[in-house]
Amino acid sequence: MYNLNMEFTKSLIKGKLIKRYKRFFVDVKLNNETITAHCPNTGSMKGLLDTGNEVFVQKNDDPKRKLKYGLEIIKSRKNLVGVNTHLANKIVNHGLMNNHIKELMNNDLIKPEVFFDKETRFDFLLKKNKQKIFLEVKNVTLFRNKKTAEFPDAITSRGSKHLIALINATKKGYKSYLLFLVQIQNMEYFKIASDIDNEYYKNYLAAKKAGVKFLAYRCKISSKEIFIEKKLIIKDE
């Protein structure tokens, strides 16, 4: 599906979105036929699902998989948006390994999916000069104006739980980071969508006050590759 350089191992196929349904399925028009592809994003995908939007799917040859195509990218309002949430941690891991995230460079250890307590697992544990760092990643696909990406795109109690856990980790001596991975072209800014989930916004402010560090990075996206490209400015309301 993807190699270590975050390049698609197979060429993506361009089509037109017909509809998404039952969260996991999208119907796509490819040339003169309609195919059903797997949708690897269970979120609301707010603002991305207009009929007729250009999409890119990848064909898979796995005989165990019922659906022979997977949705990877949607073009919405002239911007390519990476919608495969399973890819987010791979993109960040690639960014960490190649020092694309300037606040988290030159780590002695990069360990994915590490438990903080019985109920909470963070996406990464990093070590640098004996300092332990927890890093949680949130995939971002929402934009409601030309240059500003937003999170969340729906109410997220799980997201709030992670913020509270990052506060607890900070209190126990860990450095704690949350990285908003913006898989949307041309974004320059990031903000919390407080009108969508005000509870998350309140927990974000509390976490910031407690010393949790927040980062937003945009990806370079094409039908050939996706990788971390640029740091975005985080705007607080």
pLDDT digits (tens, 9 = 90+) for 8-50: 888 899 999 999 999 999 999 999 999 999 999 989 999 999 9
Query: What is the mean pLDDT of the segment spanning 156-168?
Result: 97
How much is the pLDDT for 28? 98
**pLDDT score of 215:** 98
What's the CA gap between 78 and 92, in Å, rounded?
25
* Residue 153 covered by a domain: yes
At residue 2, the pLDDT reads: 57
Q: What is the rounded average pLDDT for all residues in the chain?
A: 95
| Residue 158 confidence (pLDDT) above 70 | yes
Order the strands of the 131-140 sheet from edge to edge: 109-115, 121-128, 131-140, 175-182, 213-221, 226-231
Interatomic CA distance for residues 224 and 220, integer angstroms: 10
Q: What is the pLDDT of residues 180-189, one digit of tens each?
A: 999 999 999 9
Give yes or no: residues 160 and 51 share one domain.
Answer: no
* CATH code of the domain in which 19 resides: 2.40.50.580
Ramachandran angles phi, psi of 183, nearest 5°: -90, 55
Query: Does the structure show a pLDDT above 90 at 1?
Result: no
Chain centroid to CA 137: how far? 7
Please indicate, yes or no, if residue 185 is contained in any of the structural domains: yes
Reported as a pLDDT band with limits 50, 70 and 90, residue 236 is: confident
- Is the CB of residue 6 less than 8 Å from the CB of residue 104? no
Note the pLDDT of residue 4: 64
Please state, in angstroms and rounded to a whole number, the distance separating the CA atoms of residues 52 and 133.
43
pLDDT reported for residue 213? 98
Largest CA distance in the chain: 58
5 in a domain, yes or no?
no
Quick check: is 8 in a domain?
no
Q: What is the pLDDT of residue 3?
A: 66
Q: Say which residues have a Cβ less than 8 Å from residue 163's Cβ, sequence separation at least 6.
A: 178, 200, 203, 204, 206, 207, 212
Residue 45 and residue 98 in one domain: no
At 237 the pLDDT is: 65
The string of pLDDT tens digits covering residues 94-133 is 999 999 999 999 999 999 999 999 889 999 999 999 999 9
Q: The domain containing residue 71 runs over which residues?
A: 13-78
State the Cα–Cα distance between residues 113 and 25, nearest whole angstrom: 27
Q: From 36, 58, 78, give the residue that closes a domain.
A: 78
**Does 52 share its domain with 140?**
no
Q: Are residues 176 and 220 in the same domain?
A: yes
pLDDT of 166 higher than 90? yes
Question: What is the C-alpha separation between 42 and 139, in angstroms, rounded?
Answer: 12
Closest CA to 217 of 201, 235, 204, 233: 233
Can you tell me the distance from the alpha carbon of 31 to that of 51, in angstroms, rounded to the nearest whole number? 16
